[in-house]
Amino acid sequence: MNAGLPRAEPPPAALLAPRLRANLAAQTASANELEVLLAQERERLIARDWEAMLKLSESKERLIQRLAAFGRELEELAAGRSILSVIQAAGLSAEQAALSNQAERLQRANRECRALLDHHQNRVGTALRLLNRGDGAGTYGRSGYAGLGGLS
């Protein structure tokens, strides 16, 4: 194979700067989209608009996949080195710090949405338990006829 050939060194960070800058800008744009989407998701959760939630969830998944692809691209550009050190060497620390702060805001917004969703799930679970409490077959029964007495 390549026995005896010297291993190629990864390019210096300065040469990667345009690609790193483009990647960070694309990540920022996608993160901005995600921030808007999470605000919409929160509104739809409060309004209990489940149909809109399904659509938002699909859009959210696409954005998350896009952001993950940008992360993989950064790993490739870093070529085994620390991504943060390559970004710093390219003079893009401010861009990276802004993106990192935005990521923290996104995580916080996502946790808030998760808490709202958990709250709704708990309410549905409570309602189902109340409907099926302690009378054997439950208020509605397996066949749908429980509680009808002699009417069935």
pLDDT, tens only, 11-59: 776 789 999 999 999 999 999 999 999 999 999 999 999 999 999 999 9
pLDDT digits (tens, 9 = 90+) for 75-125: 999 999 999 999 999 999 999 999 999 999 999 999 999 999 999 888 888
Supply the pTM of this predicted model: 0.75
For residue 151, the 8-state DSSP code is: G
Phi–psi pair at 101, nearest 5 degrees: -65, -40
What percent of the chain is modeled with pLDDT above 70?
Answer: 80
The pLDDT value recorded for residue 43 is 96
Higher-confidence residue: 134 or 90?
90
CA 36 – CA 38 distance, rounded (Å): 5
Q: Which residues contact 89 (CB under 8 A, 6 or more apart)?
A: 12, 13, 14
With beta carbons less than 8 A apart as the criterion, state whether 146 and 137 touch: yes
Residue 125 has what pLDDT?
84
> What are the backbone angles phi and psi of residue 136, rounded to the nearest 5°?
80, -90
Which residue is listed with tokens 């739809």? Answer: 44
Alpha helices (H) in 48-132, listed in sequence order: 50-78, 83-89, 93-131
Q: Are 106 and 28 within 8 A, CB to CB?
A: no
Buried/exposed 22-31: b ≥16 CB within 10 Å, e otherwise: ebbeebeebb
